[in-house]
Structure 1
Amino acid sequence: MSEINRSPAFWRSFSIFEEFDTETITLLSGIATHRKWQQGAMIFQRGDAGHEMIAVTSGRIKISLLTPQGRELLLRHIEPGSLFGEVALLDGKHRSADATALVATEGYVIARKPFLDLITHRPQAGEAILRYLCSMLRDTTERLETIALYDLNSRVARFFLATLKQIHGTELPESANLRLTLSQADIAAILGASRPKVNRAILTLEENGAIHRHDGVITCHIGLLQAFAEPEEA
C-alpha cells in the first residue's frame, strides 16, 4: 500500500474517526503518512513523547509493560483495523507502555500538531473525539470489573464475548466462530491469571458446550457463554 487510501469508509472503520464528516476525512487523509515496521521493531517505549497515533492496516503490534522484577505484562495486541497511541497524542503526556511489532506491520501515522489543529477548527470532530474517549473509559471500567468481580470462568467467557462484539457488533448471533491470534499465555496476561488456570477455564467452557474448538476455530454458543459471563448469585 504505497498511496494513502482516501476512502471515507476506510477512515471511518477506525472508531475514533467514524463520526467525522467527509470533508474532515479528506483533511485527515492529507495529514496521515504511510509507514512500515519490520518484525521486532520497537515502535515506541514507555516514557517516550506521544507525538503521533497509528492506524494499523496490516501486521500485529504488542502493547506491554516491564515490571520492576523484569516480567513482561501484556496489555493488549493491536490488530489490523485498530488504532493506538491516541491518548498520549491527545493529552501531550508520555507513553504509558511499550509498542513492538510482532510481525512485519504497516499503518498510517498521524502527528499530534496537525491533528490537534484539525479538530480545533472543526468542533464537531472534537465532540466526536470526546465521545470516543468516553467509550474507552467505559470499556476500561468494564475490563477492571471483569478482573476484580468475576471468577476466572466468567472472565474467560466475557473475554470471548467482548472479542466477538468487536467483530459482529453488540447484537451477536446465536452462534459465531472465532479465530484467535492470541495464545493462552497472552489471554492469561490480559485477564490477570496463570496460563494453566486459563486452560482449565477454557476446558470448563468446552465441557459445558459454551465453546467448541476445531482446527484453530472456536465456535461460540452465545447464550451459554453469557450464562457463564453473568452467573446468577447463589
Structure 2
Amino acid sequence: MARNKVRVQDFLSRTALFNELAPAELDRLAQGTSQIQLSRGDMVFRRGDPCLGFHTVVYGQIKLSFISPLGEEKVVRLIGAGDGFGEALMFMDKPYIVSAQALADSLLLHVSKASVYAELQRDPAFACKMLASLSMRLHSLMVDVEAYSLRSGTQRVITYLLTLKGEQCDEGQRVRLEADKRLIASRLNVTPEHFSRILRELSHRDLVRISGREITIPDLCRLQEACAY
C-alpha cells in the first residue's frame, strides 16, 4: 500500500480514549498495539473469530455486518478514521458476532486485550473513560432500536443526512454519502429500492438535490421540519 505506517503513540494520544495518558502509559499501550494495512475488500475478521483486542481506524473505512438467515447482508456500522470497534466483546471474552471488511484502503491499529487490561489495573481514570466509551456505544444502539421501531423510513433517511458532516456552498449545505446506497440502505434498515425512492421523493419536494453520492440540502430547517412528520 502507498501510505506509510504511523507512530502509534502519536495517533493514540489524539483519540478521545487515550488523549489524557502520559507518555509512559502510551508507550506501554504501543507495545501491545499492531498496525494492520488493508486493501479494499480485505477482511479484518469474520463472525466467530476470537476477539483478542479492539481496533481503531487511522484512515480508510470499515464495514461491520452479518448475514441474516435469509442470506441477506445487514450492515451494522460504517466506521471511519478516528473511530474504534470491538471494545465490548473484548471484555466479554466472546467471539465476534459480526464480520469486518475494508471498504477502502485502510490502516488500523489493533490494541491487544492484555495491554488494555494492564492499563485498567494501573489507572482508574482510564477505566472510567473506557466505561464512558462503552456507554456511548450502548446509547447509540438504543437510538438505532428506537429509530427502527418508531420512525418511518423517510425519517430515518432524513436523520442520517442531517448527521453527515457537510460544507457550505452557494446552493446550501453539501454532504457526501459515506458509502454506496446499498450499504447505507442496509444500515438504515430499508431496502435499496426504498432508499432510492425516498431520495427521489425528497428531491421532488426540493428538500435535497442529488448528484451521485453528493447531496445538497438547500434549507436545513425545511429538512429538519420534514423529519417531524
Instruction: Give the alignment's TM-score, normalised by structure 2.
Output: 0.84
Q: Is 1:60 equivalent to 2:57 in the alignment?
A: no
Q: How does 1:152-171 map to 2 (within 5 A)?
A: 152-164=153-165
Partner of 1:21: 21
Structure 1 counterpart of 2:76:
75
Question: 2: distance between equivalents of 1:12 and 1:197?
Answer: 42
Question: When the two structures are aligned, how many residues end up with a matched partner?
Answer: 220
Matches of 1:182 and 1:225, distance apart in 2: 21
What SS is found at the alignment partner of 1:57? strand
Q: Give the secondary-structure state (helix, strand or coil) at the position aligned to 1:49.
A: coil
Q: Which residue does the alignment assign to 1:2?
A: 5
Equivalence for 2:147:
146
**Structure 1 regions of 5+ residues with no counterpart?**
169-174
Please report how far the alpha carbon of residue 5 of structure 1 lies from its aligned counterpart in structure 2 after TM superposition: 4.2
User: CA–CA distance in 2 between the matches of 1:229 and 1:204?
Assistant: 13
Q: CA RMSD in A?
A: 2.3
2:133 counterpart SS class = helix
Q: Which amino acid aligns with 2:194?
A: K
For 1:178-217, list aligned pairs within 5 A.
178-214=175-211, 216-217=213-214
Counterpart amino acid of 1:121? Answer: R
> Contact (CA 8 Å) 2:54, 2:87: kept in 1 or not?
yes
* Structure 1 residue 163: Cα displacement: 3.1
Q: Which residue of 1 aligns with 2:12?
A: 11
Deviations 1:84-138, CA, capped at 9 Å, x for gaps: 1222112221111011223332111111111111122110010011111111111
Mapped partners of 1:201, 1:5: distance in 2: 43
The answer as to whether partners of 1:4 and 1:33 remain within 8 angstroms in 2 is: no
Query: Identity of counterpart residues, as a percentage?
Result: 21
Q: Determine if contact 2:64/2:100 at 8 Å carries over to the other structure.
A: yes
**1:202, distance to aligned residue in structure 2 (A):** 1.3
- Per the TM alignment, residue 223 of structure 1 is displaced from its structure 2 partner at its CA by 1.5
**For 1:76 and 1:148, how far apart are their aligned partners in 2?**
18
Alpha-carbon distance, 1:13 to partner: 4.7
Q: Offset of 1:50 from its aligned partner?
A: 0.8
Aligned counterpart, 1:172:
none
* TM-score, reference length from structure 1: 0.83
**Equivalence for 2:134:** 133
**1:121 correspondence with 2:122:** yes
Deviations 1:56-99 (A, max 9, x none): 12232221111222222222222222211222112221111011
Aligned residue identity for 1:154: Q
CA distance 1:66–1:215, change in 2 (3 Å): closer
Deviation at residue 186 of structure 1 after TM alignment: 1.3
- Seen in structure 2, the aligned counterparts of structure 1 residues 3 and 214 have a Cα distance that, compared at 3 Å, is closer
